[in-house]
Structure 1
Amino acid sequence: MAIVLGVVCVLLVVVIVGFARDRGRLQRQLADAQHHITQLESDLDAALRPPPPSNSADRAVRRVIRAATRVREHGITGLIQSTVEDLQSWASDDERADILNMAASDGTVTLFFSDIEDSTPLNDRLGDSTWVKVLAAHDRVLRTQIERYRGQVVKTAGDGFMVAFRDAEAACRAALAIQRDLPRDVTLRRYGPILVRIGIHTGQVVARDGDYFGRNVAMAARVANLALGGEVLASDAVREALDDDAAVVLVERDAVELKGLPGEHVVWELLAPAT
């Protein structure tokens, strides 16, 4: 009996040793297979991933393409959804300082949002090459008047602009001047009509990293979304901020609801005074 037990024990030891050896071999094979799979995934990812931008110009082009896509997908309100990393790319240190200095000591600033009405079908109709010329002419008209009235471009995305002004009248006069000059531009007249919608709102904002955040930023974007091409709309806060002798005419619209903002809001159409 003892002999039988001894033989059984020896056999068990042999089986256990063999099992351990096979298990170790299988684990090594599995580890090798996992390594190969990881390497293949890495190679595939590298092959499919576009090469990084080689210089600052390439990086800027990619940022513009991403931003234009965001505006087309989400409308002008997409301008208020940039990440802090995006904001750092839009403005230099000096520009960010200028942007922050636009707000009064209580954080009040007048914000101006604009974009081209039906820009996507316009782009399709004109083709990319001509569309680039149209955008350049559009930007030139806007920036000329923004600079004239001491506004500061916070950021742009495709054909959309977000601009800060120190006072409401300057923002209103810049907007009216832009609407006056757009049809006069030779390039825009040739390929137009190019109709721009503009919304203006005054309120307190939160400033950070060269950008503005908060409810009043959303309010300005919502007002712009209400405008038709060629129109300038302003919130009731803008009307209250204007002096009685301001060189603008305001026509009251019906009160409206604005997405994400409770209650009804009075909106005014901004017109140039009769000459």
Structure 2
Amino acid sequence: MDPDDGDAAPDGRMARLRAQTVRAGTRARELDRSPGLQRAVKRLRDALPGDSHFGDPLSLGGARHTEAAGRAIVGLTGDRPGVTRELGLGGVQLWQSVLERFGRGGGEHELVLVFTDLVEFSRWALEAGDDAVLRVLREVGDAWEPPMTQRAGTVVKRLGDGLMVAFADPAAALAGVVEARRRLGELHVDGWTPRMRAGLHSGHPRRVGGDYLGVAVNTAARLGDAGKADEILVSGDLLRRLDATTVTARRKRRVRLKGVSDDLEVYAVEPV
């Protein structure tokens, strides 16, 4: 009997096991990338309660927005489309919707959430080049952050050409946005004048680390994304917390925001 025969069988079993593992991994990747399965999962997400767009740059705050879990899922899947990614995000979408429905998704304190961004920035940046883009972003940061922080606003995160800020006082939040808009109007960088839009909403977001999550955050972000150049959009909830003698408000009836309540009232406001 060959003394090496005893080792040959275990080695053969290990080789077969490795081959089976490789085949299983390949099959799993094929299923994960299946267009048909991805479409089926997308239809499922559309039918589930909550924001079916959860996981896009806006709902994650430009790589982060409402959910630590959502950020982890996007990170683990390499930010690529796939069945696993969509199922994971769908689960978080449903979980968040259930928490909000039963009143367990909110934080203890009411906050005003502000989202701002630059209008037509991406289009301008394509032609301007990286050096000009960096100059603009530095000057924009110097222009619009101090009006927020000087009024007790907390910068939650910087979103490239945008900003998320949390305030305790609605009047201070609106004043900060108006001053930031004025200061941006004075900038002229490489022949371009940055123009901003903003969305404000009040609610009880849940704090996770240094970030916030919840329906209130999503609503404020969608408001910020829906405005025109120099426009400040607020929810009806926030408007009712402002002194009516200090602002003029115009109802925006044709605004449709994805992932928020259909009965949300949207107003464009200006200081008196």
Normalised to the residue count of structure 1, the TM-score between the two structures is 0.63
Paired position in structure 2 for 1:124 = 126
Q: Choose which of 148, 157, 160 in structure 2 pairs with 1:158.
A: 160
- Secondary structure of 2:253's counterpart equals coil
- State whether structure 2 residue 195 is matched by structure 1 residue 210: no
Paired position in structure 2 for 1:254 = 253
Paired position in structure 1 for 2:60 = 78
Deviations 1:192-247 (CA, angstroms, capped at 9, x unpaired):
1322121000112212312221111111111112112221111101111112333x
Do 1:110 and 1:201's aligned partners in 2 also have CA atoms closer than 8 Å?
A: yes
Q: Specify the code of the residue in structure 1 equivalent to 2:68.
A: T
Paired position in structure 2 for 1:269 = 268
- Secondary structure of 1:265's counterpart equals coil
- Name stretches of at least 5 consecutive residues in structure 2 with no aligned partner: 19-54, 73-106
Of Structure 1 and Structure 2, which has the larger fraction of its residues in helix?
A: 1
Paired position in structure 1 for 2:40 = none
Question: For residues 266 and 239 of structure 2, what CA distance do their matches in structure 1 show?
Answer: 9
Question: For residues 129 and 200 of structure 1, what CA distance do their matches in structure 2 show?
Answer: 32
Question: For residues 31 and 228 of structure 1, what CA distance do their matches in structure 2 show?
Answer: 63
- Secondary structure of 2:256's counterpart equals strand
Are the structure 2 counterparts of residues 123 and 30 from structure 1 closer, same or farther at C-alpha, using a change threshold of 3 Å?
farther
Do 1:255 and 1:266's aligned partners in 2 also have CA atoms closer than 8 Å?
A: no
RMSD after superposition:
3.2
- Secondary structure of 1:140's counterpart equals helix
Do 1:249 and 1:270's aligned partners in 2 also have CA atoms closer than 8 Å?
A: yes
Are the structure 2 counterparts of residues 74 and 135 from structure 1 closer, same or farther at C-alpha, using a change threshold of 3 Å?
farther
Paired position in structure 2 for 1:147 = 149
Do 1:152 and 1:165's aligned partners in 2 also have CA atoms closer than 8 Å?
A: yes
Paired position in structure 2 for 1:94 = none
Aligned-residue offset at 1:269: 0.7
Do 2:223 and 2:233's aligned partners in 1 also have CA atoms closer than 8 Å?
A: yes
Do 2:67 and 2:213's aligned partners in 1 also have CA atoms closer than 8 Å?
A: no
Sequence identity, in percent? 24
Paired position in structure 2 for 1:133 = 135
Do 1:255 and 1:264's aligned partners in 2 also have CA atoms closer than 8 Å?
A: no
Question: For residues 252 and 78 of structure 1, what CA distance do their matches in structure 2 show?
Answer: 28
Paired position in structure 2 for 1:172 = 174
Q: Choose which of 115, 118, 143 in structure 1 pairs with 2:117.
A: 115
- Name stretches of at least 5 consecutive residues in structure 1 with no aligned partner: 1-16, 36-72, 88-104
Normalised to the residue count of structure 2, the TM-score between the two structures is 0.64
Paired position in structure 2 for 1:25 = 8
Q: Specify the code of the residue in structure 1 equivalent to 2:59.
A: T
Q: Specify the code of the residue in structure 1 equivalent to 2:8.
A: R
Paired position in structure 1 for 2:22 = none
Do 1:200 and 1:224's aligned partners in 2 also have CA atoms closer than 8 Å?
A: yes
What is the number of residues matched between the two proteins? 200
Are the structure 2 counterparts of residues 206 and 268 from structure 1 closer, same or farther at C-alpha, using a change threshold of 3 Å?
same
Q: Which has the larger radius of gyration?
A: 1
Aligned-residue offset at 1:28: 4.2
Question: For residues 82 and 115 of structure 1, what CA distance do their matches in structure 2 show?
Answer: 21
Aligned-residue offset at 1:260: 1.8
